[in-house]
Amino acid sequence: MLPDDPTSYDGAAVALWFAVGFTALMTGRSLIHIFRHDGGAQSIAGIDIEVDGGQNLIAIFAQWGLVQLLLAALAWIVLARYPGLLPLLLALYLVENLGRIGIGWRKPVTSTKRPPGAIGSVLFVPILAAALAASLI
């Protein structure tokens, strides 16, 4: 995962293209959390923000969006300049999704609908694992 030449990528092209699409999704998700009026908390995830501390939830979503945007920016740098680090990037994405699933299981979100991230994290784990394996071939 730490190649001698990080500017060269020898893995499967499908893993690279998947990473580009996934990073675009991550970028879009982060921008929604930062710029949407409710950070997507109520409008997308169905979390009630009309409670005491509701504005704090919106602020936390925006801050989370900034962290996601920084990760996405780093991913774009890897994809554009250091594609040899693609397996490391995919491993990071895989660990993030597994972590989100684990945290969601231990600390579930109360909402009126299932947040897209709760579904997406589960769906993307096997795809990320396959992309990671393909990037190492």
Q: What is the number of other CB atoms lying within 10 angstroms of the CB of residue 90? A: 28
Say if residue 118's pLDDT is above 90: no
pLDDT digits (tens, 9 = 90+) for 45-104: 999 999 999 999 999 999 999 999 999 999 999 999 999 999 999 999 999 999 999 999
Largest CA-CA distance found in the chain, in angstroms, rounded: 53
What's this model's pTM, rounded to 2 decimal places? 0.91
Mean pLDDT of the chain: 95
